Amino acid sequence: MPEAPLTPADATTDMPVLEVTGVTRLFDVSRPWLQRVLAAERKLFLRAVDDISFTIARGTTLSLVGESGCGKSTVARLAVGLLRPTAGEIHFEGQPLSTARAQPALRRRMNMIFQDPFASLNPRWRVRDIVAEPIRAFALARGAEAVRGRVEALLTQVGLSAADGEKYPHEFSGGQRQRISIARALASEPEFLICDEPTSALDVSVQAQILNLMRDLQDRLGLTYLFISHNLAVVRHMSDRLGVMYLGRIVELGPAETVFRTPAHPYTRLLLEAIPDLERVGQPRTPVGGEVPSPIDPPPGCPFHPRCPLANDRCRQEKPAHARTGEVLVACHAVEEGRSA
């Protein structure tokens, strides 16, 4: 049941860059046909993303955070059109995503930055060709001279030197490669970037460089980000709004500052409690019990109930709907009933 999209306080009258409404994505994880028929089994589906809705306003960052298997990367792939939703709709710039993807003028306005800068750059291409590919594909500059000028400008923009274009990816460190990925992503002059764990393969000091660069670029170019990460501290640094995912559902969605200051959902609270932190030298903590259940066989009712300290019979039977508290949407019976205080 899609709820009304949440409008951020600082929203302009602009339509959102991305609007995701009631999107569900199933993956078929059945055994091969013959084995399934012989064993008289039914088809088996993994519900990777379960009825999620959100919007991203122009020039802002929405982050999705969660543990492995919560469906956050699937959302990234749905948003960029690499996967199609099983149900629900995605609109980009007011148009259905499939229509938008079919038009080069709209398609070039979204791009993706991947996690692994070692796997996402072609090792046989020089950096200048890697960065020039989108420029050529969308005919954004004509003539070798103009393309070269554009590539050099992009490399400088991400903190590399123009001469680096002559090198191959293996000559760069992980952080520099991620800069090349960003230069390539910016080459099609996009407005919307989907960043799937862009710094989790990097060391902390390099991570800081890349995060600073991404925020500078956002300020300068007015970029909109969908930022996917498992690292809550990184997410806090980057986000305007935050969605916390658990087993394919967004359990809490709202302005990042509010969610971090006053987390409402028990899962968000446990997640924030669990993170090792520099400011807690030598302090004991209460670890979250249990582990994330398998998304193939999710628990009935609220998917978080087996680990939730507030769970009662209703939580075990009935899937909670999103309820709005101020600017925050929370899917939790305990919060709704006021049992969470």
Partner 1 sequence: MSAPLLEVRGLTVEFPTRRGILRALDGVSFAIAPGEVLGVVGESGAGKSLTGAAIIGLLAPPGRIAGGSILLDGARIDHLPAEAMRRIRGRRIGAIFQDPLTTLNPLYTIGRQLIETIQTHLGLSGADARARAVHWLEEVGIPAAARRIDAYPHEFSGGQRQRVVIALALCAEPRLVIADEPTTALDVSIQAQIIALLKRLAREHTTAVMLITHDMGVIAETADRVAVMYAGRIAEIGPVADVVRAPAHPYTAGLMASIPALEHRVARLAQIEGAMPRLDAIPPGCAFNPRCPRAHDRCRAERPELMGAGATEAACWLHAPAHAESSPAHA
Report which residue type is found at 308. Answer: C
Query: Shortest gap between Cβ of 54 and partner 1 (angstroms)?
Result: 21
Cα 131 to its chain centre, rounded Å, is 23
Residue 240 CB, shortest distance to partner 1, in Å, is: 11
Residue closer to partner 1 by CB (options 13, 68) is 68
Specify the residue, 13 or 283, whose C-beta has the smaller distance to partner 1.
Answer: 283
C-alpha pair distances (Å), 331 with each of 103, 231, 335: 37, 22, 8
Q: Please, what is the minimum distance in Å from the beta carbon of residue 222 to partner 1?
A: 18
The CA-atom distances, in angstroms, between 26 and each of 36, 43, 146, 296, 317 are 18, 12, 45, 10, 22
Q: Which is nearer to partner 1, 114 or 172 (CB)?
A: 172
Q: Which parts of this chain interact with partner 1 (CB under 8 A)?
A: 67-68, 173-176, 203-209, 211-212, 215, 230-234, 236-237, 257, 260, 270-272, 274-285, 287-289, 291-292
Q: For residues 232 and 264, which CB has a smaller minimum distance to partner 1 in the complex?
A: 232
> Which is nearer to partner 1, 80 or 201 (by Cβ)?
201
For residues 243 and 265, the answer to whether their CB atoms sit within 8 Å is no
Query: Measured from the CB atom, is 42 or 261 closer to partner 1?
Result: 261
The 110-113 sheet, strands edge to edge? 110-113, 192-196, 224-229, 61-65, 241-246, 249-255, 328-330, 323-325
Q: What's the rounded Cα separation, in Å, for the pair 269 and 244?
A: 11
Which CB, 167 or 230, lies closer to partner 1?
Answer: 230
Q: How far is the CB of 66 from partner 1 (least distance, A)?
A: 9
Determine the straight-line distance between the first and last CA of the chain, rounded to whole angstroms.
Answer: 27
Minimum separation from the CB atom of position 277 to partner 1 (A): 5
Q: How far is the CB of 284 from partner 1 (least distance, A)?
A: 8
Do 24 and 85 contact (CB within 8 A), yes or no? yes
Give the max Cα distance, the chain: 69
**Helix, strand or coil for residue 23?**
strand
Structure tokens at 151: 């590539």
* Distance in Å, CB of 285 to partner 1, minimum: 6
CB of 57 to partner 1, least distance (A): 19
CA distance 312 to 73: 31
Structure tokens at 148: 């070269």
Nearer to partner 1, 71 or 134 (CB): 71
Q: What Cα–Cα distance (Å) separates residue 151 from each residue in 17, 19, 128, 141? A: 26, 32, 6, 10
Residue number with CB closer to partner 1 (230 or 319):
230
Provide, rounded to whole angstroms, the least separation between the CB of residue 133 and partner 1.
26
**Tokens 């300020």 -> residue:** 219
Residues facing 227 on adjacent strands: 63, 195
Paired sense of beta strands 18-28 and 45-56, if any: antiparallel
Residue entry with tokens 């070798």: 144
